[in-house]
Amino acid sequence: MTFLTLRGLTKRYDDAETPCVKNLDLNIERGQIVVLLGPSGCGKTTTLKMIAGLTEPSSGDILVEGDSVVQIPTEKRPVSMIFQKSLLFPHMTVAENIGFGLRMRGMKQAIIKRKVNEMLDLVRLEGYGDRRALQLSGGQEQRVSLARGLIIEPKVLLLDEPFSALDAELRLEMRGLIMDLKKKIDVTILFVTHDQQEAVMLADKIALMIDGEIVQYDNAQTFFTRPLTLRVAEFFGWTNFVPASQKGKTVTCSLGEFVFDGLEEHNGPMCLTIRPEAAVLCPKGEGIRAVIRSSVYMGTRIDYRVDCMDAKLGISFDSDQVFEIGEEIFIKLQNNKVWAVRCDGKEPCDNRIVWGPPLNMQDTSIEARREQNEGEGIGQSIGALDRTDEHHGGDSREKDNP
Amino acid sequence: MKETKTWVMLLPTILVISILFIIPLIYTVLLSLNFFSITSNQAISFNAYVDILTSSSFTDSLAFSLTIALISTVASILIAIVVSMTLRNTFIGRRLALFVYQFNIPVPHYVVGISILLLFTQTGLVSRWFYAFGLIASPSSFPVIVFDQNGIGVIIAFVLKFFPFIGIAILSLLLTSIKDYEEQAATLGANRIQRFIHVLFPMMMPSILFSSILVFAYAFGSYEVPFLLGSTYPKALAILAYQKFTDIDLNSRPEAMAIANIMTIIIVALVILAYIQLNTMNRMRARQNGKE
Amino acid sequence: MAKNRSRSRIPVLAVLYIAIIVPIIPILMWSFSFRWTYPNLLPTWSPRAWDYVFSQSSIISAIGASIIVSTLVTGLTLIIGYPAAKALGTREFKGKTIVEIFILLPAIVPVISAVMGMQGIYLRIYLSDSLLGVVLAQTVFTLPYLILGLAAVFKNYNMEYEQVASTLGADRWRVLTQVTVPSIFPGLVVSCLFAFVVSWSQYLLTLMIGGAAVNTLPLELFALMTSQDYPVACAVSIIFILPVLILLGLTSKYLTTNGVAKGGINQI
């Protein structure tokens, strides 16, 4: 039996044409951290608010340990929620804020005091109890907010982009704190974010949500190796997309035929996706022929844009492999860095290059990157330089990060 | 573009208020101390204050005005909270309700006063309705609400006028970020009543306090409404002062001035106290807003 | 929390509607009555009061005087108070609280307390018994409402827009008319409306400063009430609140819901 279950959960606002959360199914095991990842406005927050009881679902059910909680008012549900803004009550001290939930339950003052001190230690804010809530820094505020949510010992802790207002360094520190806390406290966590990196770092499993639907629910590794759809692949650093068609387990496109183990059998249009580091050089005449169109020096490697058969590709080589523009090379694609994805139906698959994984899933950033890659030449690639530099592909990222 | 100095921006306002308002207030103090008197050789005399403070007509009036101001303010706050808490939820007909809620704000106090007069005198409209339903046998058995010693009519007029004023301030607050705090409190286990007592009310306090100061000051010093609805004894302070000021006996003028000054002192002291309280609360609120 | 609580709503709404609408009834009925003896529920209907109001030159001239006075007061208040409101809303400076209390004083000190001294002083500087004197006196009492309301609006206003405009070559006047005023417009309108309403309903102040020279509508109304001519007094009351309600209707989109918060009426 799963610990937290969402069953056909749907929310349609009165004035909206389409539901903002569509028929959501999700099973979360006890003690797991599941990250609900998705761009702004995809219904993540609405989902959390329904679990917390702050928004009424239009249909569907929410079960905690097998029991439906939909009819239970917010204050009696075994969940607590941390919001993006710390929402510390301005008229209370830090200790009063943390002890709030226990006071509401009518607990004895002495016990509250002891538990508050324990929580202060746990979030590394010893001695801050008597401060006013408003005398804290952003990071401290969010830690108090976390302590305040945890002190009531919820079965499920909901976090709604709790660190998105903090700067990069603090965000890392806060993620570390969450992972530490997780070891000490038996709590199941549902964490909402649009930050792909944050999701990968924290999650036991990621539920990728787009337009009110969960597109893929897997562990982080799978998103980097076997994305289901084109958009998922884009979010997880797959660079090249080439229209293809699938018959059984065989995917055919202008670059040749590919057979993938573990690819679901399917007949119809697909999209071949290729990581930039997939290409390896072959002796002249072997493999497939490619013509260098532009290059960007990236320090440890060089990113090239090449014409290859009918397709345009973006590929990377170590920086000792220097080619001139117009030069002809022969390459082979490593099978484990190539994959086939569905085209998301409404989006017709065309040949495109999307350099570098997005930092977060704001729709605008990915659109912007696509546009950048429409043009040719050096200038357009410079914009992508800092991003590409920061994380180059999913595999290297996991090593880079502490 | 060069920045204009702050004091230059404040100067016109400060000059106008000083010359046309503060100097007259000082002049009133001097008059009350018999400063410009030709008849007396004494430079300064506190006689007017002594006379006033020892007369029961003044102390009764003071008690009357303070009581009326206090009761109307507290009643208005309570009604304002209840109505605003109701109107913050969306429901069919809310737009109309909001319009009705704001309707009284621009209507002058004494027009509401006139209406109360026509409704609640012993021969007023309500009395007629009571009579028609057989609840009373004659106009004289209708309770004295207007011109009564307890100032009930005055209080009703003030409350009708004040509660939307305080209420709109509360409502505008309830429609902003305060809702997030309430949701947070709910997820932490606070029920409806607890959320109100521990979160909503403390966070509304600055708004309530500020609008209540204005309302209290108005009720305390109003001339027009007690003129229409007040009793002949005790009189509201403003009425007492005005009558002493327009008395044919010119010697009662310093007494009028003394009453005026005592009213000013009471109100200004109250406002400064409230402002000190408000300022600490506002500083908290301002820091909070700054972070959002 | 998500559940609607309509059961407690209905009595509250009933009280609200009764409290606001019932007081309108006697005023409307009396204004169309000729005589209304006890215990009749309905008066003897007659348009006498309205005929009287529209034929009596003193009432018509009082309407004109009120419009002139309140418009002048609102304009003057805006010109004097605008810079102060901007300073209080956008800047931090030493003694700000004291300045705020100082500006608030006319709104809280009872008119009766100030008006006796004002009469004496205005007499000495030749302002009493004149339109100018009444306008200046009322301006003092409308300033706090306009300034505090507008200051609240300026608190949510980003001064950087003005800086951008001036770096793009806009002079002071253009910055004011093309950038500042459009971006604070709703709040500006509500604040001016408040100043207008405060001026429009001044009775005691106009009576004692204007003397016999300035006869505004409130003076006319109180005279009618003193003579107990209720039908005419009620007709005048309706005329009296009509322009205010029209103004409220025109600006209501700035007042309702979010507009209230932005319009700064909550700070008044």
Contacts of A87 in chain B (CB under 8 A): 180-181, 184
Interchain CB distance below 8 Å, A85 and B292 = yes
Do A275 and A156 belong to one domain?
no
Task: Read off the CATH number of the domain in which C93 is found.
Answer: 1.10.3720.10
**pLDDT digits 0-9 by tens, B152-173:** 999 999 999 999 999 988 998 8
Binding-face residues of B in 216-255 toward C, CB within 8 A: 217, 220-224, 227-228, 237-238, 241-242, 245
A80 touches chain C (CB under 8 A): no
In a domain, C40, yes or no: no
Contacts of A56 in chain C (CB under 8 A): 2-3
Taken in order A200, A202, A205, A208, the sign of the CA dihedral is: negative
Task: Please report the pLDDT score of residue C65 as a whole number.
Answer: 94
Determine the distance in angstroms separating the CA of B91 from the nearest CA of chain A, rounded to an integer: 12
A76 touches chain B (CB under 8 A): yes
Query: Cα–Cα distance between C42 and A350 in angstroms, integer?
Result: 81
Q: Which of A162, A188, A218 is the last residue of a domain?
A: A218
Cα nearest neighbour of A153 on chain B: B188
C3 touches chain A (CB under 8 A): yes
A73 touches chain C (CB under 8 A): yes
Q: How many domains does chain C have?
A: 1
A54, A104, A138 member nearest B189 (Cβ) = A104
In a 3-state reduction of DSSP, which class is residue B106? Answer: coil
Query: Cα–Cα distance between B162 and B219 in angstroms, integer?
Result: 9
C38, C143, C245 member nearest B16 (Cβ) = C143
**pLDDT digits 0-9 by tens, B50-94:** 888 998 999 999 999 999 999 999 999 999 999 999 998 888 888
> Above 60 in pLDDT, residue C232?
yes
Which position has the higher pLDDT, A58 or B41? A58
- Model confidence band, residue A233 (pLDDT cutoffs 50, 70, 90): confident
Interchain CB distance below 8 Å, B100 and C137 = no
Task: Read off the CATH number of the domain in which A137 is found.
Answer: 3.40.50.300
Interface size B-C, in CB pairs within 8 Å, comes to 283
Question: Looking at chain A, which subunits does it touch, using at least 3 CB pairs closer than 8 Å as the criterion?
Answer: B, C
B209 touches chain C (CB under 8 A): no
B66-80, B148-162, C27-41, C226-240: least confidently modelled range? C27-41
Q: What CATH class does B61-113+149-291 carry? A: mainly alpha
B83, B114, B261 member nearest C12 (Cβ) = B83
Do A209 and A242 belong to one domain?
no
Do A279 and A156 belong to one domain?
no
Cα nearest neighbour of B1 on chain C: C166
Q: How many domains does chain A have?
A: 2
**pLDDT digits 0-9 by tens, A14-41:** 777 788 898 999 999 999 999 999 888 7
Residue-wise over A101-134: b if at least 16 C-beta within 10 A, else e?
bbbbeeeeeeebeebbbebbebbebeebbebbbb
Do A152 and A274 belong to one domain?
no
Task: Please report the pLDDT score of residue C159 as a whole number.
Answer: 80
Task: Please report the pLDDT score of residue B42 as a whole number.
Answer: 62
> Above 80 in pLDDT, residue A369?
no
Break chain B into its structural domains and give their ranges: 61-113+149-291
- Model confidence band, residue A277 (pLDDT cutoffs 50, 70, 90): confident
- Mean local confidence (pLDDT), A153-171: 90
A191-205, A378-392, C12-26: least confidently modelled range? A378-392
Do A203 and A234 belong to one domain?
no
Task: Please report the pLDDT score of residue A1 as a whole number.
Answer: 67
Nearest to B101 by CA among B73, B80, B72: B80
Query: Cα–Cα distance between A128 and A134 in angstroms, integer?
Result: 12
Do A211 and A165 belong to one domain?
yes
Which residue range is the domain that position A149 belongs to?
2-218
- Mean local confidence (pLDDT), C8-28: 90
> Above 50 in pLDDT, residue A372?
no
Arithmetic mean of pLDDT over chain A: 82
> Above 50 in pLDDT, residue A384?
no
Which amino acid is residue A224, in one-letter code?
F
B99 touches chain C (CB under 8 A): yes
Specify which of C3-17, C124-138, C158-172 reaches the highest per-range mean pLDDT: C124-138
**pLDDT digits 0-9 by tens, C105-117:** 999 999 999 999 9
Contacts of A155 in chain B (CB under 8 A): none
Task: Please report the pLDDT score of residue C260 as a whole number.
Answer: 39
Contacts of C4 in chain A (CB under 8 A): none
Which position has the higher pLDDT, C164 or B227? B227
In a domain, C136, yes or no: yes
pTM: 0.82
Q: Which of A218, A236, A255 is the last residue of a domain?
A: A218
Determine the distance in angstroms separating the CA of B168 from the nearest CA of chain A, rounded to an integer: 22
Task: Please report the pLDDT score of residue B39 as a whole number.
Answer: 60
Which residue range is the domain that position C181 belongs to?
66-216
In a domain, C188, yes or no: yes
Interchain CB distance below 8 Å, A55 and C3 = no
In a domain, C44, yes or no: no
Do A87 and B291 touch, CB atoms closer than 8 A? no
- Report the percentage of chain B scoring pLDDT > 70: 92
Range list of β-strands (E), chain C: 33-35, 44-45
> Above 90 in pLDDT, residue B195?
yes
- Mean local confidence (pLDDT), A352-373: 52
- Mean local confidence (pLDDT), A220-249: 86
In a domain, C12, yes or no: no
In degrees and rounded to multiples of 5, residue C179 shows phi and psi of: -115, -60
- Report the percentage of chain A scoring pLDDT > 70: 87
- Model confidence band, residue A348 (pLDDT cutoffs 50, 70, 90): low
Residue-wise over C141-159: b if at least 16 C-beta within 10 A, else e?
bbbbbbbbbbbbbbeebee
Q: Which two tokens stand for residue A141?
A: 């505020």
**pLDDT digits 0-9 by tens, C183-195:** 888 889 888 988 9
Mutation for C interface: A56, A70, A72, A79, most C CBs within 10 A: A56
Which position has the higher pLDDT, B45 or C49? C49
Do A201 and A304 belong to one domain?
no
**pLDDT digits 0-9 by tens, B95-133:** 888 888 888 888 899 999 999 999 999 888 999 999 889
Task: Please report the pLDDT score of residue B285 as a whole number.
Answer: 53
Contacts of B205 in chain A (CB under 8 A): 91
